[in-house]
Structure 1
Amino acid sequence: MILMGRSLCLPSPATVQELFSVARDANIIPDISLDPVLTTFLSLDSSAALQHQYAFLQRSMSREQQAQFSLGLSGELGGSSRVTCGGVGVVALALSMLFDQVAQQVRAQGSTEGGLSTQRSQAKRIFGISSSSRIGWIIHSYLHLIPGIANDQEKMAETTELYDSWLKLELIDHYERMTNKKRMSSESMQQWLTGAAFHLHMRIHQVRLHSVPVGSTESLRLSYKTGLSRLVQGYTAYLRKNIQETAAPGPHKPKPRTADGPGQTNTSSVTNMTCSSNHLFNISQVNPSTSTDTFNETNIINSTAEISRSCKTHGSREFGVNASKGSDDPAEMNRNTLNNSTEYSREEEASMLGLLVIEPGRNVSHNVQHHPCESPAIQQALVMRIINAQDLERNRNFFLIPEKVFHSLLRQRNDFELKTN
């Protein structure tokens, strides 16, 4: 009998799938996966990807726009048409962002306007994370600087070393907050993962610049691989704690609504009108022969005090009269009835819905009906569905770089050259 009782509280796969679909359609399924743009340009395919993007943007422009595009890029690159290591790693990523930004400016300004403003505004999000977060700000600021310093190896090495140290300290602090200070969330997971991936390739680029030994990059990669495994465990526990689901109740007879009595009409507007008339009356009691000079503060205070007493007394009396007699205005009674009916309909509709919460700030009402005792099992099933949807294997593989690929990344030296028409 116990087994039968438990089996009754196991949800069907269809119920779990339906609730997962509800969450997905409401866009509340978290996504902590690495951004595809990030993984593409931080790979051995970076040079080909950058060339493809550059050619695509040029093909989509008129000749005049192409000229402005080249002029804008040249200005950002300090007048040079060639970028050292422009086709690899963080430099390719910076150029990719620059291409998109300048292309948007060209299209926005049109080919008839003289000159091209190359001022670049900060995007709200970068590689899936907020650019106003500390990790996002460090990444965005560093990428913003690269086009102007990439050809100066010494300056590039100094700047990369500085931002490397900032990002390293922030990632350590961020990791501690998530693991020891209960600051785990989907947003914090994605921030750490993006920051760790970017930081690893900052270190790889320093090897290319002969700023750090190869061993420091390898130890950093192993550190992030271990850290990711621990964070995934913590994130899974976080979802188990936060995912909550309540079933939508079945059809039921609505509770009868007690109609409000006609004597409960709001008469604040009547009271205000009475006060307004008293206000005019009291002011009119001031002697018209009183000159501006003699109409002093004493007159104003006395008049104001009388107005206040009259408003309070008369206003209360009017409210009492209306509360007992009610409103005789049919239009007002109809409006009150309509408002009450609308409010009741909304409350009734809300009472017919269930609720699915993924984490703070991510929830949705639903009409999926099931036995209430199935909710705990549904919650655990949704945890696994969400974890499986994260493509964590690809994220892990980013830090499980085969030795051959790792050394190929270190040897990348592809420059990038702008094509002038």
Structure 2
Amino acid sequence: MGESYSKEKEDIMISGMFSIAETYGVIPDITIDGSLLMYSGLNSTAVLEQHSSQMVTDLVSKVPDLLTNLGSSLSAFELVPNAVGLGALIISFLLDLTVSSLIKVPEDSPLNMMQRVFTEEKASGVRDSMDEYLKRLRKYVWEPEQALEETKRLEKQLSEQMTRLSNSMLKDGQMSSRAMKIWVNGAAFHAQMLIHEARLIMAGYGSKQEKNLDVRVASVCSMVDHYRKDLEDLLKEYKSYKRTNMLLMTKYQGCWAYYTVHCINPMCYVYDKELGMSTENNPRIVSDNNFEDTFCNGSLDAYINYMFSNWGQIKKLNEYFTVLNTNIRELITQNRIFSMKHV
């Protein structure tokens, strides 16, 4: 009876600790970037129109004459084909680029997507392949045949880089939260590239031999399923990795201590060594030298298990690839034209 009561108290305490960790950001970021998410669904053209409408509103409110002065620049956007998915993303990117010298674009602008995903990363083949594709797609946004050619070429390149990255994480001991974030964004981006390639082919920019919808859908579904399986494997390895760099701790007579029994102390904290942050009072940067690597296996295991079962980021990652797989046929057959006249 007493043991059951202690376990119940521990479960409540662990749930509370995880809630505090999420609230104060003492938890890694392994999310797909917001811009990529917004332009991955069936409503990407509507997202683009809303984005461009907000851009025009900001221009007019800040400097009314700017819109008139930008007339020639924006006239190029009177008729833009394939304004769905990555096509819509790159149009929003170009619009923000056009006005970025005149007004400050928001931090969450598609223009800043690569910086948000890769931050200080110094060497990443995935980043280089994605960056190159965005550059080439910007150049050929009004030339679908060339855009298709570049998509085919750089899709293969990104695929190879994704294989290298996942192998390094699973087999070479290179797992980290940064690597996970890069992988999930690379996987989502690569899936969108494959959909855009199939979309351009079905729109008539490829060869007649390639224009088979069932084949295109099956091909993309196969790759998305592959990424769903890879995500499962990577999350298992990532869970083991986080088990090595997280601690549960409390204060005893003003000094830090680790759990030697189940976590039932109301003054317990989470310390993430990878982030260098603790939930003690408010999150603060702490030095690894302040702590010894000794803690209670049972309590930490319970926290890690709870974290990976209830972590909203993981649920959203799984949901992304599941929903994407369901919508592939409709995403491929989407074909919209964007015009600033409609804004």
- TM-score, normalised to structure 1, is 0.62
Question: In the alignment, what sits opposite 2:275?
Answer: 361
Secondary structure of the structure 1 residue equivalent to 2:31: coil
How big is the shift at 1:64?
1.6
Match of 1:227 among 210, 230, 246: 230
1:165-314 equivalence runs, <5 A: 165-210=156-201, 211=206, 213-214=215-216, 215-251=218-254
Question: In the alignment, what sits opposite 2:321?
Answer: 399
Match of 2:35 among 34, 37, 51: 37
How big is the shift at 1:67?
2.8
- Tell me if 1:96 matches 2:92: yes
Question: In the alignment, what sits opposite 1:329?
Answer: none
Is the contact made by 2:35 and 2:113 (CA closer than 8 Å) also made in structure 1?
Answer: no
Q: Deviations over 1:162-217 (max 9, x none)?
A: 21111101100000011101111121112111111110111111112225651322
Question: In the alignment, what sits opposite 2:305?
Answer: 384
CA radius of gyration, larger in: 1
Is the contact made by 1:200 and 1:217 (CA closer than 8 Å) also made in structure 2?
Answer: yes
Distance in 1, Cα, partners of 2:116 & 2:36: 7
When residues 174 and 15 of structure 1 are mapped into structure 2, their CA distance, relative to the original with a 3 A threshold, is same
Distance in 2, Cα, partners of 1:251 & 1:401: 50
Question: In the alignment, what sits opposite 1:272?
Answer: none
Distance in 2, Cα, partners of 1:402 & 1:164: 18
How big is the shift at 1:69?
4.4
Query: Match of 2:240, as an amino acid?
Result: A
Question: In the alignment, what sits opposite 2:140?
Answer: 149
Distance in 2, Cα, partners of 1:197 & 1:206: 14
Query: Match of 1:366, as an amino acid?
Result: E
Question: In the alignment, what sits opposite 1:20?
Answer: 18
When residues 81 and 397 of structure 1 are mapped into structure 2, their CA distance, relative to the original with a 3 A threshold, is same
Distance in 1, Cα, partners of 2:7 & 2:178: 33
Match of 1:130 among 102, 106, 119: 119
Distance in 1, Cα, partners of 2:199 & 2:136: 18
When residues 420 and 229 of structure 1 are mapped into structure 2, their CA distance, relative to the original with a 3 A threshold, is closer
Secondary structure of the structure 1 residue equivalent to 2:29: coil
Distance in 1, Cα, partners of 2:120 & 2:274: 21
Secondary structure of the structure 1 residue equivalent to 2:278: strand
Match of 1:408 among 320, 330, 343: 330
Is the contact made by 1:185 and 1:238 (CA closer than 8 Å) also made in structure 2?
Answer: yes
Distance in 1, Cα, partners of 2:247 & 2:190: 35
When residues 390 and 183 of structure 1 are mapped into structure 2, their CA distance, relative to the original with a 3 A threshold, is farther
When residues 241 and 251 of structure 1 are mapped into structure 2, their CA distance, relative to the original with a 3 A threshold, is closer
Is the contact made by 2:78 and 2:340 (CA closer than 8 Å) also made in structure 1?
Answer: yes
Secondary structure of the structure 1 residue equivalent to 2:271: strand
Secondary structure of the structure 1 residue equivalent to 2:272: strand
Is the contact made by 1:93 and 1:143 (CA closer than 8 Å) also made in structure 2?
Answer: no
Match of 2:80 among 83, 88, 104: 83
Query: Match of 1:172, as an amino acid?
Result: T
Query: Match of 2:234, as an amino acid?
Result: L
Distance in 2, Cα, partners of 1:249 & 1:10: 23
When residues 6 and 407 of structure 1 are mapped into structure 2, their CA distance, relative to the original with a 3 A threshold, is closer
When residues 166 and 359 of structure 1 are mapped into structure 2, their CA distance, relative to the original with a 3 A threshold, is farther
Is the contact made by 1:91 and 1:150 (CA closer than 8 Å) also made in structure 2?
Answer: yes
Query: Match of 2:95, as an amino acid?
Result: F
Question: In the alignment, what sits opposite 1:64?
Answer: 65
RMSD: 3.4
- Number of equivalent positions: 299
